[in-house]
Amino acid sequence: MSSSTPPRDPKISIEHVYKIFGEDPQSVLPRVETGASKREILEETGHVVGIRDISLDIASGETFVVMGLSGSGKSTLIRHINRLIEPTAGRILIDGEDVLTLDEKQLRAMRRQKISMVFQRFALLPHKTVLANVMYPLRVDGVARDKAREAAMEQIETVGLAGYEDRYPRHLSGGMQQRVGLARALATSADVLLMDEAFSALDPLIRGDMQAQLKELQSKLHKTIVFITHDLDEALRLGDHIAILNDGELRQVGTGEDILLHPADDYVERFVRDVNRGRVVTLASTKRDATTLAASELSRARLIELIERDGVDAVVVVDGENRPVGAVSEATLYAGRNEPDAWWTDTGNLPMPEKASDDTVLAEVLPRFAGHSTPLVVVDAEGRVVGRMSATDALASLANDDG
């Protein structure tokens, strides 16, 4: 099912978690475990299966998106992590510690110091100012007023609300209110951040701003973020890994690209069909093999031979480290047809190819094909040639149902 390898040392581990709502969940559990459908259970026992056998590993410092439509159980799932909801069966480990074994006091300590949360409808305290709202988790934890104020002011500045600290939430727009929510969640310096449809209630422009702000913050803070959303674009934009939930069951876990390119089943495929692939799919997964020739072997005859052999429109000439030093197309061959052999062995005479890094998304390379049709040479982080991408290939990958 999962197409990515689980992290070796996960920050959060969810192991075979079930949640059944109703009078006597334990009595129904065996039937759910043996695979009775949600509908059968509801009709025969009046119990609602919220979550069925979910196991997930979430790595430290990643943004893990749980996505699903309403009723998929995603909000139920996230509430298991800080035990706002108790599972019917299963284990939840944070830093290797089973949170279900915590007593009331330890649980409170965990909520105060380790995990914080941002809510869909902000859930700010309407009778407190912005500053008092952000201070609230610290005050609950018994931090002295002065210290709490200082820490809160810092977070208010981080989210760009300096100057609004004495306002009441009702005086702020939705986007600003959610920034207060974010500042409040950051104030405790908890390293796990649960975000339950945090941006869903905001209008699209503000949502985009908030996503950008979160990404920027995350690049500095490296929190472990569990983000719930029903918006696939948001999931793809924010998530290092994405889990797709439907009817309380896990359908697929993987990177955004995995899910787009290799949907695990029909449900996921229908889900991802209309998404803008260009913003997600990278050159690494869509590149074609490049025909390369070591600079030491360079000759006009050899170039012609390779172009004919592979049926490509260009050969990339590389140095000893496999870094591109030139590219030869049929046009180059024709233009230099009268040059002497010695001219052909000098890489300095060859045109340099256009390069693109393999983590670039397709949408970004498309404009570079404007005005010419020379393929891009795809290079890795060290600058070594890993493939090529022509305008035709790029367009085909965008349109294709299965790249």
Partner 1 sequence: MEAGFPELIDTRGLRLAIDDAFNWVVIEWGRQLELAFLPVLRLLNNIEDGLLWTPWYIVILAIAGIGYLATRSIATAIGIVVMLFLTGLIGLWEPAMATIALMLTATFLAILVGIPLGILMSRSDRMQSIMLPVLDVMQTMPIFVYLIPFVMLFGPGKIPALLATIVFAVPPVIRLTNLGIRQVDAEVIEAVTAFGATSTQRLFSVQIPLALPTIMAGINQTTMMALSMVVIASMIGAGGLGYQVLQGIQRLEVSRGLLAGLAIVFLAIIFDRIAQAYGRRVQQHLHNS
- Segment interacting with partner 1 (CB under 8 A) among 134-142, 261-269, 270-278, 312-320: 134-142
- Number of amino acids touching partner 1 (CB under 8 A): 28
What minimum distance in Å lies between the beta carbon of 74 and partner 1? 16
Sheet with 324-329, strands from edge to edge, namely: 292-294, 314-318, 324-329
Spatial neighbors of 193 by CB under 8 A, at least 6 apart, are: 115, 116, 117, 118, 185, 186, 223, 224, 225, 226
How many whole angstroms from its chain centre is CA 230? 14
Figure out which of the listed residues 42, 125, 144, 162 binds partner 1, where binding follows CB under 8 A.
Answer: 125
Judged by CB under 8 A, which of 18, 64, 136, 344 binds partner 1?
136
Residue pair 241/64 in contact by the 8 Å Cβ criterion: yes
- For 90-110, the DSSP string reads EEEEETTEEGGG--HHHHHHH
Q: How far is CA 211 from CA 116, 205, 229, in A?
A: 18, 10, 12
21 scored as a contact of partner 1 (CB under 8 A) = no
Residues 355 and 377: beta-carbon distance below 8 Å:
yes
Grouping H, G, I as helix, E, B as strand and the rest as coil, residue 120 is coil
Binds partner 1 (CB under 8 A): choice among 13, 63, 76, 82:
82
Stretch that binds partner 1, among 16-24, 60-68, 103-111, 198-206 (CB under 8 A): 103-111
Nearer to partner 1 by Cβ, of 39 and 121: the residue is 121
Nearer to partner 1, 108 or 270 (CB): 108
Which of 14, 58, 67, 117 touches partner 1 by CB under 8 A? 117
Site residues for partner 1, window 180-239 (CB under 8 A)? 184, 188, 194
Nearer to partner 1, 202 or 253 (CB): 202
3-state secondary structure of 11: coil
Q: Which of 74, 111, 237, 300 binds partner 1 (CB under 8 A)?
A: 111
Are 214 and 238 in contact, with CB atoms under 8 Å apart? yes
Q: Are 295 and 347 in contact (CB under 8 A)?
A: yes
Determine if 260 is a binding residue for partner 1 (CB under 8 A): no
d(CA 200, CA 129): 24
* Residue 124 found at the interface with partner 1 (CB under 8 A): yes
Q: Which of 14, 17, 110, 232 binds partner 1 (CB under 8 A)?
A: 110
Among 112, 167, 262, 384, binds partner 1 (CB under 8 A): 112
The contacts of residue 357 (CB under 8 Å, 6+ apart) are 283, 378, 379, 380, 381
Residue 74 interacts with partner 1 (CB under 8 A): yes or no: no
Kindly identify the residues of this chain, within the stretch 138-157, that bind partner 1 according to CB under 8 A. 140-141
Q: Which residues bind partner 1 (CB under 8 A)?
A: 82, 84, 107-113, 115-117, 119-121, 123-127, 136-137, 140-141, 170, 184, 188, 194
